Structure 1
Amino acid sequence: MRSAGCRKSARQGTRAPCEDGPAAPWDRAARAEGEPPERLGPPANGFALLPWLLMGMGAFSNLFQGRTPNPWIGGIGLLVFNSLYIHVVFRAFTKRAREARSTRGALVAMGVVTCGLAVAYGGSWLLFFPLLGLAAGAIVRGRWLGRTAVGLTVLAAVVAGYRDGWGAVDVAYGTFLSTMVTAAILSLSEAVRELRSAREELARRAVEEERLRFSRDLHDLLGHTLSVVVVKSEAARRLAPHDLDAALAQVADIESVGRQALTEIREAVTGYREGSLATELDRARSALLAAGIDPVVRQSGPPLSARTEALLGWVVREAVTNAVRHSGAARCEITVEGLPERVRARVSDDGDGRPAGTPPALPGIGGTGLKGLTERLSAAGGSLEAGAGPRGGFTVTAELPAEELPGPGPTTPEPCANASGVALTPAPGTAPAPAPAPAPAPGTEPRRVRPPAGEPANGATAPAGAPNSPRRGRLDP
């Protein structure tokens, strides 16, 4: 029965000395280094080396039949040899135990006992040399294996030649063969175990990487989508008492955003989602306009590869989501430019903090989006910087190597849009000039931004009863 100390250790989930005995020196060293201790008990395949002890049955028979002089000395030698052999072979399947000094000392003691018994008795006692070679092959590895095998072979040949003459050839050959074959079989077994362990480690890392990928995708997808839903819901609530049509348009946008989010989540789960930078820029304009933030979008440089567009799309999505949720800004600039050596995307706003009416962020969950973006860009050889801008506000800058670019292409900047829906094309050294807004799709009404009361819209004066808006503009159907 176990003692009370054993039961207490078992309840506490610790290793009880009474169960496994005192920890070996290499076990204590492994624990001190923080490594899991290796199994030191007799492994199942250690018993495969025990049947070879039957090679010593001839000496055992001679001992009990009285053919051996001084049988007590021979019996003690036989007992010591068998004990050392069992000790060595059962420690041959754990690297730390195999390389321990006690194991090497036991192997040397086996050699001394073998030489003594072989010189004293000869005959069947010479078969202990192949057993010694088997134990040496189970213990010795690396460059010392060949030296050990040759040394034992020469020793067996000399001793057997001294006792039995030409029988030394068979003894020497058996010693060399048992040493090398045992080492080869056990080395192959160790290689198989290492490969199995490596396969399990690769599978574990693959699962961990997939979990991290899915968590990043889920954060980036739902964080942006839910922010847009919240902003449009607030806009619909404000518009409902005064402009039911505008409120219904916001509700329709919420439905569209929700359906798109379902599609993106399904694609993210299957791992086939490839983001488009143009799509993300359009969504960024829509989200910023819905939040009452004036968007300014500029894009120049050659066409980007699909991977670069996907990475920069994530950057735009996350930065715009943070601007909508936390900045309280009135203007947000998104710039994508292809440089000779790198492609750069910058999202900056002029905000100074959390917008009014927005609840504070929960503690301990901030920054996961930027951290995920940093990991994505670092894996592609890029970088991400986020912090306060030179003129206030917040700026997110992402850079990727130009090797991601497929080749030269048109460098005409993409027209950008302000909060009034007017397309602007910046010219070098000049301020952006207004241009006609794109025509609406057939069958739909043009969308416009109604400015706050007191400001003219398209040259007209706003109606006297128009509600005031805390932002620079309001999106109407």
Structure 2
Amino acid sequence: MFGRIRGWQRRHWRDRSKAERVELQSVITWYATTWFFSLAWLAMPLVGGLDRRPVPVIVGGLLLLVGTLQCAEANRLTRPVLDHYLGRAELPPRALRGAAVLLALGLALDLALAALDGTDPVTIRLSIGAALLPFGLLYGLMVPVRVFLRHSAVLTVLLMVVFGLADPDPVRILAIGVVTAFGTAFSLLASRCGAWTLAVLWEAERAREVEARLAVAEERLRFGRDLHDVMGRNLAVIALKSELAVQLARRGRPEAVEQMIEVQRIAQESQREVRDVVRGYREADLGVELAGAQGVLTAAGIECEVRGEAAGLPAEVQSALGWVVRETTTNVLRHGDAGRCSVGLRVTEGHVVLTVENDGAAEGGGAGVSGGSGLAGLRERLAGVDGTLEAGFAGDGVFRVVAEVPLREAAVVSEVTA
């Protein structure tokens, strides 16, 4: 299961949902944050302010090595810790044991530098913050906030006491406490705020999936209910009349033929009614689809403009174009990047033209119609009414789908009359 969860990471950026993109961006930000603070708070100050005596140089070199290992370990554990926070995988507490050991080594080396007077006090304080951040980003997602704050307070007091023994200056001791408190608080905010945002986004994503499944289930129930209404009574009558015909035939009564003729009539009527139900299920009403597209897109926060009326168009044309509206609307919602979508329907020179545009496209793909089976399926439906379909980019970030269907002269005349 964990492998399947990770599968989305290998997909291209344009194929990801909003939640997947935000998660990838957040993870990359956490990766970069640890290295940035290690470089800005540890490497640069230490290289510039380190005493050139042999022992401080060795301790400083070890401190740089430990800081590098801390960043690498934090990057390695960021994804598993995030999966643990989001409830996608379990991670035992001992998973942070290596990061905790590196934190202890880093703080011990900072203390050694302070005791040796190997660098200035400001560099010592900055290196303490650089050591705390990689571990804090991970620990903030592993334990409740109260536990994190309690442990941070204990660590702050402990570091103030220990470093106070090496340098009893009250101002510098207070500065150690401030840096420790800031480092732990910053790591908690950086990790928790981003992870909480991701949790909300994934919850919204799951809600959309549940809503879609419920819509499909509701449609199946409706279809089953219609079939039951159509077939239930007719099948019961067929069963009764067949049984009556059997009894009459055994007695040699001529009425048996009449009963079987009635059974045949009811069966044929049932076939016709089932075809009507299936046709209503499979065919799309263009007017309903246009209104539904505007309502669904508006509810999803996408500005939608619909121009034109479907009244007067032949039923087969409405059905074919209705599927175009349904498919394009579905893909705009699926990609979730569009801020505006426009649907235009017009009749010109014996043709009806449907145009759907949205601004959620990216080069190489678009939130218009999924490639392959989506386009092929729509072209097959339009081919049934001698229609054509064109899809492609129409400017910066705009994806356009144009469906054109010829109208018979009688249809055009009836529309103009209407």
TM range (shorter): 0.3 to 0.5
TM-score relative to the length of structure 2: 0.43
TM-score relative to the length of structure 1: 0.39
The structure with more helix, counted as a fraction of residues: 2
**Higher relative CO (CA 8 A, sep ≥ 6), structure 1 or 2?**
2
